[in-house]
A and B are shown apart, each in its own frame.
Chain A
Amino acid sequence: MIERAIRRMSLRRLTACVLILFLIATVATGISILAANRVTVARLVDQRIEAIAELVLERDAGQAMVPTSEIRARIATLSGARDTGDVGLLLLDPAGRALGGNITLRRPLPLGRSDLRERDGIIGLSHGRALVREAGAGRRLVVVAETEPFDSYRATRTRIYLIGFGSIILIVFGGIIAFSLLVSRRIGDQRRTVEAIIAGNIRHRVPVTGSDDEFDRQAAAFNGMLDRIGELMEGLRGVSNDIAHDLRTPLARLRGQVARIAQEAHDPVQAERASAALAQCDTLLAMFAALLRIAEIEAGHRQAGFAPIDLAELVEETATMMIPVAEEAGQRLGVTATARPTAFVGDRQLLIQALVNLIGNAIKYGAPGGAIRVALDGAAGGVTLSVADDGPGIPPEQRARALRRFGRLDSSRGQAGHGLGLPLVAAITRLHRGRLVLGDAEPGLRVSLIMPSR
């Protein structure tokens, strides 16, 4: 139960909880010690003044009560003695007037034990205890004594407490915060590595400090796993690149030969057939080009060529370039750039390719006589580049498949093309640390590239 609660807690919350509990416990301990100390001292002082009162009011054998003169004499003796010189004594008549003693009172004190404060105005006493006893015939004896062994004892005690408990709190707070910072920094190293890998930098590894602690061992295991994944990916990529490359070579030859047949054909039917074969060759070649381009992007080398780009200009220029293509297909193409990101860094060629690809798709799948809308809008910390058509769109349940390589769709949209266009755009978006979102343009498809600026 508790374990589950702790597991679910964030490091920051756990730290805060521990610190708050520790603070409460420390303060409670301090207060308890202070209170116990005060009670003990008061009890000791009470015992002392009680003993002194006994001495003053002690009756000789057969005496009904001690006469006032005798009490005065005893008070004088006690005041002069070394052990009891600090005790205040006062004898009052039934009306509360002083009959003798070495102190004066500002207020009548109740019978029995009570506390004394500085405002009671007894010279040399800031905090103390008082005892009032009946002395016979309506007289009362007041005995007072200090609870502080020396001047400014309370202030000193408070200072000792503050320094003592304060330093404990500071050390523990500092320690726990340092510990949690260390943990979050080392975990942060791992998180940054994972993020870098997701962004396409697969050569990134978790830094190892060389101290061979738990984090280092964790990092080494993690790096080992990444190396292994890298090897597997390298192998797979090598195989698929080899296949793509090996198939492209004979295909390029085939295309050349078909092109020659097309040129030499005098019969229009023959020429038409040759042209159709040529178009099929081109589709196949485009498929391999897209596959190899995705491989090139995912290898991450192109990030080295990232440069600042005026994205709004790029979008406007590319969309404008595509207007004649859209018009020829009987569609309208509009472009709006509400955002002019100034800090965008990326690969110009790849971004143009992504946009040309998306607009090409919109022309291919949009409604006849429809409108295609290209927009560049500002988003939190980045930009959203979107291309919307008003064709049949892609149903939500098929969107994930549309982004997969060769993820052909059941609907009309899946009939043409080779199923690599959107995955290529997605790879380009990922290279720019962004994500591709397929949405509904009501009606039609809206493809949005959400990318951060740097």
Chain B
Amino acid sequence: MSLHLILVEDDEDYAQGLAADLKAMGHRVERAGDGRQALAALDREQYDAVILDRMMPRLDGLSVVETLRARGITVPVIMLTALSMASDKVDGLEAGADDYVVKPVAAEELVARIHAVMRGRRWMVSETDTIRAGDIVVSPTSFRAWRGGQPITLANLELKLLAELARHAGEVLTRAMLIERVWGYDFEPETNIVDVYIRRLRMKLTEQGGADPIETVRGIGYSLNP
């Protein structure tokens, strides 16, 4: 799916590179150099998502997202931040951003996050509900999962992982996203924890037959396609 994006970033070099990569992936990208330009552009046109740098001259990212939300504009906003401000994640989310990533971030990672936000918006699934994806059913509240009506015995983390994949079935979830959402870590472990857990999950999902529902997107992450 081609996305119509606006990239709001004052760092010319970084913005140029990121925009080129996003375009290479087949997305339409417009650029704004500061917060005011961004608000003006968002008034004129509709975008699928906003990629918003937090630190900018004239009007910073937090003010932009607050202004957008105050005007009732619900467009998904992914906020970019320098590492030194990574601990201010809560501020960004409270201001109304949908996701918060530390720069530099690869275009693939950004697009995966945008899709995850858009998907979450469409279904508005609450975390406590039973999730269905094809023949897979996950009930995070009762710690149980089924495939084709057959119960699957999963450890706690495996269940959380399956729930996250099922919630975003058909989309790519990057390792960073999984580490953040399933493990709750604010760092990326150098050990291949995600890959190991995905392998175990695959094994349990295919134990009673059936095709492997988890697709590996090389260099990016995983996607559940039952």
Contacts and interface: CB of A to CB of B under 8 A. Distances in A.
A329 to B, nearest CB: 9
A258 B107 CA distance: 12
Contact of A259 (B13, B82, B87, B219): B219
Interface residues on A, range: 35 or more
Given A252-B104, A253-B17, A263 B217 contact: yes
Contacts of B108: 256, 259-260
B17 A250 contact: yes
B200 A324 contact: yes
Interface string A412-454: 0000000001000000000000000000000000000000000
Contacts of A289: 187-188
A325 B219 contact: no
Interface in A366-420: none
29 contacts: A241-B84, A245-B82, A245-B83, A249-B13, A252-B104, A252-B106, A253-B18, A253-B21, A255-B106, A256-B21, A256-B107, A259-B220, A260-B108, A260-B219, A262-B219, A263-B217, A263-B218, A263-B219, A271-B218, A274-B219, A286-B188, A286-B190, A302-B87, A321-B183, A321-B193, A322-B191, A325-B196, A328-B196, A328-B199
Contacts of A301: 87
B105 interface: yes
Contacts of B157: 321
B120 interface: no
A255 B17 CA distance: 13
Interface string A308-337: 000000000000011011001000000000
A328 to B, nearest CB: 5
B24 interface: yes
Counting from the closest, the 9 A-B pairs by CB-CB distance are A259-B219, A360-B191, A256-B106, A252-B104, A249-B104, A262-B218, A278-B219, A349-B186, A353-B187
Nearest to A325: B196
A282 B200 CA distance: 23
Interface string A237-257: 000010001001111110111
Interface string B1-24: 000000000000110011001001
B80 to A, nearest CB: 11
B192 A249 contact: no
A301 B14 CA distance: 27
- Residue from B82, B109, B199, B219 whose CB has the most chain A CB atoms within 10 Å: B219
B143 interface: no
B21 A259 contact: no
A363 interface: yes
Interface string B168-206: 000000000000000101111111110011011000000
Contacts of B21: 253, 256-257
A241 B82 CA distance: 11
A302 B13 CA distance: 30
Interface string A183-217: 00000000000000000000000000000000000
A360 B189 contact: yes
A357 B190 CA distance: 7
A313 to B, nearest CB: 14
A362 B193 CA distance: 14
Interface string B80-110: 0011101100000000000000011111110
A363 B191 contact: yes
A256 B218 CA distance: 11
Contacts of B14: 249
A421 B191 CA distance: 11
Given A263-B219, A271-B218, A275-B218, A353 B196 contact: no
A259 B220 CA distance: 7
Given A259-B220, A263-B217, A325-B196, 10 more contacts: A253-B107, A259-B108, A260-B219, A274-B218, A274-B219, A321-B157, A325-B191, A328-B199, A356-B185, A421-B190
Name, among A256, A286, A296, the residue most crowded by chain B CB atoms within 10 Å (CB to CB). Answer: A256
A356 B189 contact: yes
Interface string A276-292: 00100000001001001
B218 A278 contact: yes
A293 interface: yes
Contacts of B106: 252-253, 255-256, 259
B216 to A, nearest CB: 10
Given A260-B24, A296-B84, A349 B185 contact: yes
A353 B21 CA distance: 31
A352 interface: yes
Interface in B15-66: 17-18, 21, 24-25
B139 to A, nearest CB: 22
Contacts of A138: none
Given A253-B17, A256-B106, A262-B218, A324 B187 contact: no
Contacts of A249: 13-14, 17, 103-104
A252 B21 CA distance: 11
Contacts of B105: 252
A305 interface: yes
A253 B25 CA distance: 13
A296 B83 contact: yes
A248 B190 contact: no
Given A253-B106, A256-B106, A305 B87 contact: yes
